[in-house]
Structure 1
Amino acid sequence: MSRQRAVVAVAVALLLVTAGCAGAGNDAAPSGGDAGAEMDAGGDAPQEAGSDGARSAEDGSAYAVADRQLIRTGEATIRVEHFGDASDEVRSIAGSYDGYVSDTEQRSREVGNETWTRGTVRFRVPAESFDDAFADATAVGEVEDSSTNTEDVTDQLVDVEARLTNLRAERDRLRELYEEANETEDVLAVQSELSATQEEIERLEAQQRQLEDRVAYATITVHIVEERPEGDSTEPQAWYDTGVVAAFLASVDGVGTALRAIAVGAAYVAPYLLAFGTPVVVGVVAVAKLVQRRGE
């Protein structure tokens, strides 16, 4: 019976939440009807009145449809003469727009005796400064390619906010049931539902913060490519063009290297020969002596 009471308690909580949501929906419905009645009196079509009422309800949400929530991103590859100077300039541009550098990457390659560097600077600026900051960043060098992207996350934020409102209401009702529960099984059942609801609220709040942060601050990625040096263009010398003395000295060095390799190899092999070779030699000698005695 206690388990049944726990199930009933949880069911009551869910019913209360459902009733609250339905009540909120019913509260919104008469406003649309009143709007329709007023427009009928003015001679306009009832369908238009209903749609206007729906838009008014949407405008009352946390994120109005008229105020779209947009995530702006831009990416460009620029060619420069000096990577370090260009990287410092891009960083400076980020700071000039009250932004900050979020990620950097740098890679260096050698061509002949010269170094060739390329890398990436990713920074974020307030969304309203995106266009100006992107234009300044791409002006640092010669643009090879660039692109911008806009993602509308208004519906996602509206959906998250609506789900959070319902979950917070459910959490409040579960807390009330938790305070009123007397039986241990009832307490545990309500506590389990309350914990699951709180975890879902925290997950949605984190998602909401992440989306709002990406809306507030646009992201710009600049790939900086330093001009590649030409390197040594001298053609390699053929082996038979090498001088006699130089060839002899190179051969002597080769012999010395080979002798050192043999000596080092012998040093590595010697312990194994002593450890495993000695018993084998002793065994062979013993067998040979045994065979000799039998032959006599």
Structure 2
Amino acid sequence: MIINNIINLLTTKIPLGNWVENLVNFLINNFQGPLNSFSDFIGGIVSGVEAILEFPHPLVLIAIFALIAWKLKGKRMALFAGLGLGLVLNLQMWDPLIVTLASIMTSVFIALIVGIPVGIIKAHNKTLDLITRPILDFMQTIPPFVYLIPALMFFGLGNVSGVIATVVFAIAPPIRLTYLGIQQVDEELKEAGHAFGAKWWQILFKIELPGAMPSIMMGINQCIMLSLSMVVIAAMIGVGGLGKPVLRSLNTVNIGLGFEAGLGVVIIAMVLDRIFGRD
């Protein structure tokens, strides 16, 4: 009897999918107003960033990127940034590139604004660490296509859904690497700060964050790269940018268009990786 009950229990499917669907429907039906307001807010940020990037002439923007690369990484990186972005302009992929950059900048900004403080609190709070650890494991292992489903249901087609899905997909590295960097700061330095009467915020900003900065920068770099990896995937839910021609070339088997758009993604990824990555 007991064995039969166990077998019946194991063979009876748990209606997990129905529970999730009911939860999503409940949120949509009861929080449509706040969701629309949040969508308008994110859409406004994306549109604003896009307008700023479109304002100067493309050659001026390329020169700005080259100047930033020169100041941060030297002349060779400046030359690569200038030639690479110039090639994107020549291939007539500049407008999709601007849309992609606007979405990436918005996604990375939101992910870092949320992720770095959570990582700091996580490093000082064991309870939050235990709670967030399995959540972060889940977020980093679930297929990225899955993020598109709730984003599409909550915010509809368009760039806003892509930004939200990208933020959720890319926020884990800043949290984890900020936490790891603070955890690796020498305890003797913290004890010395306490001994000299430093406040908690002085220890945070003058000892912990400077010591954790290499790890934090790695988290920023990983956040940018993960955001870029969502470019093509997010095109499936109506997000514009370089992912749109890549998806169109896949549907029409247009090898040339796919190569040109894909090359644009590669160039912007390499430029951002070299500029914001570690030497």
TM-score by length of 1: 0.20
Choose between structure 1 and 2 for higher RCO, CA contacts under 8 A separated by at least 6 residues. Answer: 1
Structure showing the higher helix proportion among its residues? 2
